[in-house]
């Protein structure tokens, strides 16, 4: 029984009196293949970058599907303001309570060695504190005691994702959306809901 998938015949079985047609077809296929490969390569590069980011930020016990779904839910939020997401590690929500911001964000928006920062969640509750830029951590900004208070007040756990939206203004303030890992097993991924089912 023939396979329902149709495959192009190999060039060697084509008749010799079709040489010009073969060469023409071969050139077209080669050009098309190259474009296809370039497209795939770009897609693979992006996929690799995403996998690297997820692998470094997520607990190692997560499966690839769990990581992808968790990030899909977190990154569903769109804004014209700068955004970045951080998956909570033990160092963020236990013991040291350290939160370092991405290097690119730090260099562009946290231009002083230290300064005031404000965090607030969608319901309007606000936290104020300070940040410090560490040269030993490639110029990344680290949130001070404000982060520990914020993490404890919002009961953050390992695996939760915090999406930070930088709000433009004279002061540095960030709106924080929390996506809880515990809810993933009971929630359908929905771009219109943040942190609740």
What residues pair up with 89 in beta bridges, in sequence order? none
Query: For 123-154, how does the pLDDT look when each residue is reduced to its tens digit (9 = 90+)?
Result: 989 999 999 998 777 889 999 899 999 999 99
Contacts of 92 (CB under 8 A, 6+ apart): 86, 98, 99, 147, 151, 156
Residue indicated by tokens 């939160």: 99
pTM here is 0.58
**What CATH number does domain 58-183 carry, 2.40.330.10, 3.40.50.1000, 3.90.79.10, 3.40.50.300?**
2.40.330.10
pLDDT, one tens digit per residue, over 62-114 is 555 565 565 566 556 677 888 888 888 898 998 889 899 998 899 999 989 99
What does the alpha-carbon distance between residue 187 and residue 103 come to, in Å, rounded to a whole number?
32
Q: What's the mean pLDDT in 189-194?
A: 32
Token output for 37? 């490969």
3-state secondary structure of 124: coil
């Amino acid at each position: 029984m023939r396979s329902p998938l149709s495959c192009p015949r190999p060039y060697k079985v084509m008749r010799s009196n079709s040489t010009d047609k073969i060469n023409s077809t071969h050139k077209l296929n080669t050009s098309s293949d190259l474009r296809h490969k370039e497209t795939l390569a770009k897609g693979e590069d992006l996929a690799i970058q995403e996998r690297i980011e997820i692998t470094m930020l997520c607990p190692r016990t997560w499966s690839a599907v769990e990581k992808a779904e968790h990030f899909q839910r977190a990154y569903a939020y769109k804004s014209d303001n700068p955004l970045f997401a951080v998956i909570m590690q033990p160092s963020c929500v236990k013991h040291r309570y350290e939160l370092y911001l991405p290097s690119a964000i730090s260099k562009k928006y946290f231009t002083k060695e230290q300064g005031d920062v404000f965090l607030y969640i969608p319901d309007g509750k606000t936290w104020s504190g300070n940040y410090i830029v560490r040269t030993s951590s490639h110029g990344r900004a680290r949130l001070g005691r404000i982060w520990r208070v914020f993490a404890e007040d919002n009961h953050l756990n390992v695996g939760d994702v915090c999406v930070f939206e930088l709000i433009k203004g004279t002061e540095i303030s960030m709106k924080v959306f929390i996506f809880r890992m515990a809810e993933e097993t009971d929630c359908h991924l929905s771009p219109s809901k943040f942190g609740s089912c």
